[in-house]
Amino acid sequence: MASIEVKNLKKKFGEVKVIEDFSLTVKDREFISLLGPSGCGKSTILRIVAGLEELTSGNILIGGKVVTPLEPKDRDIAMVFQNYALYPHKTIFENLAYGLRIRKKSETEITARVKEVASLLQIEQLLERRPAQLSGGQQQRVAMGRAIMREPQAFLFDEPLSNLDAKLRNHMRVEIRQLQQRLGITTLYVTHDQVEAMTMSDRIVVLNQGDIEQIGRPLEIYEKPASLFVANFIGSPAMNLIKVKTDAGNVVLPSGSPVAAGRTLPSGEITLGIRPERIKLSGNKGAQSLPYRITLVEELGSQKIVHGNIEGTDLTVVFPEDTALPGEAAFVDLPLNYLHFFDARSGKRL
Ligand SMILES: Nc1ncnc2c1ncn2[C@@H]1O[C@H](COP(=O)(O)OP(=O)(O)OP(=O)(O)O)[C@@H](O)[C@H]1O
Ligand SMILES: [Mg+2]
């Protein structure tokens, strides 16, 4: 069993509180992403779990054992950073071997293990080179290799893919996830990239200024964001958010047009949310349709992103690539079961 438990973590840098009260359990073999904007405290939490940063109060347990007073090297974890932190003057073989060498393992054991790990990551042909002679993706793989050399109880990743180009990032995303599943190593993964978090994780923790906004499975978070903050952060293009007034079973757009809400909502101002990919755009006017004026179309190849407005209110729509767009007379429907409502003041989901 190798869960990672963070209990009532508080962290201050001098007088500045960065983490107020953070608790989280990453279960044995689970992959959890810490997702949030720059400066929200992701790296701080990870570095505290690793033992690279002191905590103000709280406790860290790994595999059920309190490790709070232990040095990083005694925590049985492996960390992979954004800058791979390889030793530039050592060969790839020696970079991989380093952890075992300082633990005084035998030459035979070291060679066998380096070969095993290199084969797993398909970097056998690179062992005699130095880091500067590798591509970004290959360096990334060596950093991963170094992390798994010792078969740690847990992986800690801090934005390990952000130095790679988009294509390689997509590729390494799949590779890291497959490796993690194959080895069954409990993983805490820090990223500000919602696509990475969505595609790799068993569960996502969305952080906002050191506080947890929501914890859930990727689709749970996509389909039922707990707050405006989460709704804004997850999904690309971002969810349309419109300030509306409520009126009986309807919400009223800024132009005065009603949209059926399908439920009773608190009276006053609220925020209506709808994802661009859930909106129906066509040239046919149905009973619930609203007139839509198209202002700009972005062609992505797989889909079109359509920008426009309903009676002056901006609305982005994702439209299938293989279908012709309606012309001047375009209409949108906002399907009831895909509408989200948020409290205007607290931002909480209604
Ligand atoms: N050594 C330090 N001294 C003072 N403040 C710090 C220190 N390290 C981090 N902070 C502050 O703590 C907050 C959280 O920083 P952290 O590095 O954890 O953010 P992050 O979520 O990892 O951001 P990013 O996505 O930019 O890496 C920031 O406001 C940062 O300025
Ligand atoms: Mg960081």
Question: Domain containing 339: what range?
Answer: 240-343
Residue 30 CA to residue 205 CA, distance in Å, equals: 13
Structure tokens at 297: 């179309």
Residue 288 CA to residue 261 CA, distance in Å, equals: 11
Let me know: does 53 contact 10? Beta carbons within 8 Å: no
Predicted confidence (pLDDT) at residue 327 exceeds the cutoff of 90: no
Residue 265 CA to residue 246 CA, distance in Å, equals: 7
Structure tokens at 74: 């005694």
* Residue 56 sits in the same domain as residue 99: yes
Let me know: does 191 contact 19? Beta carbons within 8 Å: no
User: What is the mean predicted confidence (pLDDT) over 145-154?
Assistant: 87
Residue 348 falls within a domain, yes or no?
no
Question: What is residue 102's predicted lDDT score, i.e. its pLDDT?
Answer: 87
User: What is the mean predicted confidence (pLDDT) over 63-88?
Assistant: 89
- Ligand 1: residue of 16, 47, 49, 211 to mutate (most ligand atoms within 8 A of CB) is 16
Residue 77 falls within a domain, yes or no?
yes
> Mind listing the pLDDT tens digit for each residue in 108-136?
999 999 998 898 888 899 999 999 999 88
**Which of 158-172, 197-211, 243-257 has the highest mean predicted lDDT (pLDDT)?**
197-211
Residue 350 falls within a domain, yes or no?
no
- Residues with Cβ within 8 Å of 43's Cβ and at least 6 positions away in sequence, in order, are 158, 190
- Write the DSSP symbol of residue 338: G
Q: Which of 73, 66, 149 is nearest to 109 (CA)?
A: 149
Measured by CA distance, the residue closest to atom 6 of ligand 1 is: 13
Q: How far is the CA of 211 from the centre of ligand 1 (A)?
A: 14
As for how many domains the chain has, the answer is 2
* Residue 14 sits in the same domain as residue 76: yes
* Residue 127 sits in the same domain as residue 274: no
Q: How far is the CA of 255 from the centre of ligand 1 (A)?
A: 43
Residue 249 falls within a domain, yes or no?
yes
* Residue 28 sits in the same domain as residue 120: yes
Task: Please compute, for residue 222, the number of CA atoms within 13 A of its CA located in the half-sphere on the CB side.
Answer: 16
Measured by CA distance, the residue closest to atom 3 of ligand 1 is: 13
- Among the candidates 185, 204, 233, a domain finishes at 233
Q: How far is the CA of 11 from the centre of ligand 2 (A)?
A: 15
- Among the candidates 197, 217, 233, a domain finishes at 233
Q: Which of 127, 109, 130 is nearest to 118 (CA)?
A: 127
Mean pLDDT score of the chain, rounded to an integer? 92
Task: Output the CA–CA distances (angstroms, integers) from residue 342 to 123, 137, 206, 219, 317, in the order listed.
Answer: 50, 41, 17, 19, 20
Residue 143 CA to residue 85 CA, distance in Å, equals: 8
> Which residues partner with 286 through β-bridges?
none
Residue 157 CA to residue 327 CA, distance in Å, equals: 48
Q: Determine the atom of ligand 1 nearest the C-alpha atom of 47.
A: 18
* Residue 75 sits in the same domain as residue 223: yes
> Mind listing the pLDDT tens digit for each residue in 3-49?
999 999 999 999 999 999 999 999 999 999 999 999 999 999 999 99
Residue 349 falls within a domain, yes or no?
no
Q: Reduce the DSSP state of residue 150 to 3 states and report it.
A: coil
* Residue 257 sits in the same domain as residue 173: no
Measured by CA distance, the residue closest to atom 27 of ligand 1 is: 38
> Mind listing the pLDDT tens digit for each residue in 48-59?
999 999 999 999
* Residue 293 sits in the same domain as residue 211: no
Question: What is residue 10's predicted lDDT score, i.e. its pLDDT?
Answer: 97
Amino acid 263 reads R
Q: How far is the CA of 209 from the centre of ligand 1 (A)?
A: 10
Q: Return the ligand number nearest the Cα of 206.
A: 1
* Residue 18 sits in the same domain as residue 160: yes
Q: Return the ligand number nearest the Cα of 16.
A: 1
> Mind listing the pLDDT tens digit for each residue in 289-318?
999 999 999 999 889 999 999 989 999 999
Q: Determine the atom of ligand 1 nearest the C-alpha atom of 41.
A: 18
Structure tokens at 281: 């755009």
Q: How far is the CA of 45 from the centre of ligand 2 (A)?
A: 9
Predicted confidence (pLDDT) at residue 169 exceeds the cutoff of 90: no
- Ligand 1: residue of 10, 12, 43, 196 to mutate (most ligand atoms within 8 A of CB) is 43
Q: Return the ligand number nearest the Cα of 22.
A: 1
Q: How far is the CA of 10 from the centre of ligand 2 (A)?
A: 17
Q: How far is the CA of 180 from the centre of ligand 1 (A)?
A: 27
Residue 241 CA to residue 225 CA, distance in Å, equals: 13
Burial of 237 from C-beta contacts in 10 A (0-12 / 13-18 / 19+): middle
Question: What is residue 92's predicted lDDT score, i.e. its pLDDT?
Answer: 96
What is the CATH number for 285? 2.40.50.140
* Residue 222 sits in the same domain as residue 327: no
Measured by CA distance, the residue closest to atom 18 of ligand 1 is: 41
pLDDT level of residue 342 (50, 70, 90 thresholds): very high
> Mind listing the pLDDT tens digit for each residue in 259-281?
889 888 998 999 999 999 999 99
- Among the candidates 202, 217, 233, a domain finishes at 233
Q: Return the ligand number nearest the Cα of 41.
A: 1
* Residue 139 sits in the same domain as residue 179: yes
Structure tokens at 32: 């959890």
Buried/exposed 186-210: b ≥16 CB within 10 Å, e otherwise:
bbbbbbbbbebbbebbbbbbbbbeb
Q: Determine the atom of ligand 1 nearest the C-alpha atom of 53.
A: 1
Question: What is residue 1's predicted lDDT score, i.e. its pLDDT?
Answer: 58
* Residue 218 sits in the same domain as residue 297: no
Using CB distances shorter than 6 Å, the residues near ligand 1 are: 13, 16, 18, 36, 38-44, 192
What is the CATH number for 97? 3.40.50.300
Q: Determine the atom of ligand 1 nearest the C-alpha atom of 159.
A: 27
Residue 8 CA to residue 58 CA, distance in Å, equals: 5
